[in-house]
């Protein structure tokens, strides 16, 4: 990345920290539902009791199903107003929005792991391993370097997909990065094993085949190969090899979101290469694999006043989404989500035990210049940091049990890339994709943009969203979209009318109103369901 490019990214408008009052944290749709529930309860007490009682059923359907919907609505309203991690996790469990390891094992099915070499791979061995995969599966892989380190080692990325060479319109992009700290090596090996499993089971395992067919997966086993070459096997909690060749901590080297923290460190080639790569490819979701404990942490990592001061919960405006993403990994892990010591080796433990194995970065310990914050603030993507193992450079005999702990979680996290509102934004007259149209939802400041083909992805949890599409050269359009556990993904294709083509607006509005997924009838049907549920709740409770 050139100096001018870096300055351009530095000058990009920063997202303000989220300091909304609690009322703004509650989505508009849930506020409306809560008001409807209160109104309905009053109505129920004033004369609807006899009529409602006559509709009782002994089956889990009809009124009881509506009652359950109403109870879940109340629970969701309360939880989203309070937003504690424990309450959010409870909500995700009740809704069935996350999968445990046993359920995932059944869903994934049996797959072949015989091609995995459970040993450590130095730089040359890692490159040979990647080249072997790329040669054996040449129609499904693209091995390339995104840049070089100070010591001229290549930063290799293996792309796995049906169309690995280029972005396929409508196919989301996902990336895993490991070994950012050179002495934290578990993630490096896990990604080599994951690549092996994806490729050797394609066409043989339905789950893996579908994943590869519908996702373009980028795997970078080592972001800091220079540091790795200095690290030593058996290092439990040391720092030898942590930094790059010039002893810079790469997870403090990205542009911070607060101006006071910018330009405090010299941009390193490894970070610059990842930045350029992350901006060139329309990544939707990513994870950064580390070592030192066993948990998932999520943005924000920094505090408004920089890294000074005590740890403090610093929520992003997508706090609930990040909690779900983090918990999706932790819950699919064999023990990360459980209460208790983080480390299997007793002398590495402390009293630290985050709820459900996940924690906000700044609440854990604040840092400035971290990669996950940079991804969230400066790109269209979302990223979490996964701490895979308490021992930073474990002996080789521990690699197989570590793979067993993490293999389903690694797969499940990739699959989260599909829980989105997505589609194409096209020009009403030409039919061509509109590049750089902005997509915003509700009151969240996080904006994503369409890629060159007009395709876009916006990760979301269950809920009702007002989604607005805008472009400086076009008339904006807003739609309502409902995301549920049964339908966690929604394809929404939008046609924008260019300034000067106003005669096309009436026809475009007619088409939009006729769309059953985004018409006002959705809100009407949803309102009826919640009002009925509220009446039953008032009668029975």
At residue 154, φ and ψ (nearest 5 deg) are -80, 145
d(CA 121, CA 274): 22
**Spacing of C-alpha 259 from chain mean position:** 26
Contact 488, 462 (CB under 8 A): yes
d(CA 377, CA 532): 41
Query: CB under 8 Å to 514, separation ≥6 — which residues?
Result: none
Contact 196, 115 (CB under 8 A): yes
Digit-coded pLDDT (tens) for 241-277: 999 999 999 999 999 988 777 777 899 999 999 999 9
Q: How far is CA 154 from CA 146, 185, 284, 418, in A?
A: 8, 17, 24, 31
d(CA 163, CA 158): 13
Reduced to 3 states (helix: H, G, I; strand: E, B; else coil), residue 482 is strand
* CATH superfamily, region 101-418: Zn peptidases (3.40.630.10)
Report the DSSP beta bridge partners of residue 465: 481
Q: How many CB atoms lie within 10 A of CB 204?
A: 12
d(CA 533, CA 76): 14
- Name the helix (H) or strand (E) containing 275: helix 269-280
Task: For the chain, list residues with pLDDT below 70.
Answer: 1-83, 306-309, 514-541
pLDDT for the residue numbered 504: 83
pLDDT for the residue numbered 73: 54
Digit-coded pLDDT (tens) for 119-160: 999 999 999 999 999 999 999 999 999 999 999 999 999 999
Secondary-structure class of domain 420-526 per CATH? mainly beta
Reduced to 3 states (helix: H, G, I; strand: E, B; else coil), residue 17 is coil
What does the domain layout of the chain look like in residue ranges? 101-418, 420-526
Length of the chain in terms of residues written: 541
198 exposed, middle or buried (CB, 10 Å; 0-12, 13-18, 19+)? buried
Whether the model clears a pTM of 0.85, i.e. scores above it, the answer is no
pLDDT for the residue numbered 523: 41
pLDDT for the residue numbered 352: 85
pLDDT for the residue numbered 66: 57
Which residues does the annotation mark as catalytic? 387
pLDDT for the residue numbered 67: 60
């Amino acid at each position: 990345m050139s100096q001018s490019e870096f300055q351009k990214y530095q000058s990009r408008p920063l997202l303000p920290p989220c300091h909304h009052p609690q009322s703004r944290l509650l989505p508009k749709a849930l506020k409306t539902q809560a008001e409807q529930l209160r109104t309905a309860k009053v109505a129920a007490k004033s004369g609807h009791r006899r009529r409602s009682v006559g509709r009782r059923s002994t089956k889990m359907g009809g009124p009881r199903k509506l009652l359950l919907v109403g109870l879940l609505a109340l629970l969701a309203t309360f939880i989203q107003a309070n937003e504690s991690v424990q309450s959010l996790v409870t909500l995700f469990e009740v809704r069935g929005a996350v999968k445990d390891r046993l359920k995932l094992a059944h869903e994934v099915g049996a797959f072949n792991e015989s091609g995995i070499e459970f040993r450590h791979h130095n730089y040359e061995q890692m490159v040979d391993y990647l080249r072997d995969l790329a040669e054996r599966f040449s129609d499904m892989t693209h091995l390339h370097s995104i840049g070089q380190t100070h010591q001229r080692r290549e930063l290799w990325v293996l792309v796995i997909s049906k169309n690995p060479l280029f972005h396929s319109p409508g196919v989301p992009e996902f990336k895993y990065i490991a070994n950012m700290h050179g002495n934290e090596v578990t993630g490096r090996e896990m990604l080599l094993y994951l690549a092996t499993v994806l490729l050797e089971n394609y066409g043989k395992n339905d789950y893996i085949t579908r994943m590869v067919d519908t996702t373009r997966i980028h795997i970078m086993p080592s972001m800091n190969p220079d540091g790795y070459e200095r690290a030593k096997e058996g290092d439990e909690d040391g720092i030898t090899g942590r930094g790059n060749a010039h002893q810079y901590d790469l997870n403090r080297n990205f542009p911070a979101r607060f101006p006071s923290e910018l330009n405090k460190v010299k941009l390193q080639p490894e970070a610059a290469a990842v930045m350029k790569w992350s901006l060139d490819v329309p990544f939707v979701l990513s994870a950064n694999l580390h070592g030192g404990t066993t948990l998932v942490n999520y943005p924000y990592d920094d505090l408004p006043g920089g890294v000074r001061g005590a740890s403090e919960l610093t929520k992003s405006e997508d706090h609930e989404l990040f909690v779900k993403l983090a918990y999706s990994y932790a819950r699919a892990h064999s023990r990360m989500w459980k209460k208790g010591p983080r480390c299997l080796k007793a002398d590495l433990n402390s009293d630290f035990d985050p709820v459900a194995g996940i924690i906000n970065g700044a609440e854990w310990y604040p840092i400035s210049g971290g990669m996950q914050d940079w991804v969230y603030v400066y790109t269209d993507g979302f990223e979490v940091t996964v701490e895979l193992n308490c021992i930073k450079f474990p002996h080789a005999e521990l690699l197989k049990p570590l793979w067993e702990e993490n293999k389903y979680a690694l797969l499940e996290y990739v699959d989260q890339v599909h829980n989105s509102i997505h589609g194409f934004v096209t020009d009403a007259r030409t039919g061509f994709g509109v590049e750089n149209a902005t997509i915003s939802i509700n009151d969240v400041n996080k904006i994503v943009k369409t890629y060159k083909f007009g395709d876009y992805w916006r990760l979301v949890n269950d809920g009702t969203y007002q989604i607005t599409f805008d472009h400086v050269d076009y008339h904006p359009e807003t739609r309502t979209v409902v995301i549920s556990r049964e339908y966690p993904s929604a394809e929404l294709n939008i046609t924008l009318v260019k300034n000067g083509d106003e005669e096309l607006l009436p026809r475009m509005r007619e088409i939009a109103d006729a769309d059953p997924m985004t018409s006002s009838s959705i809100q009407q049907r949803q309102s009826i369901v919640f009002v009925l549920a509220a009446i039953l709740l008032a009668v029975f409770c």
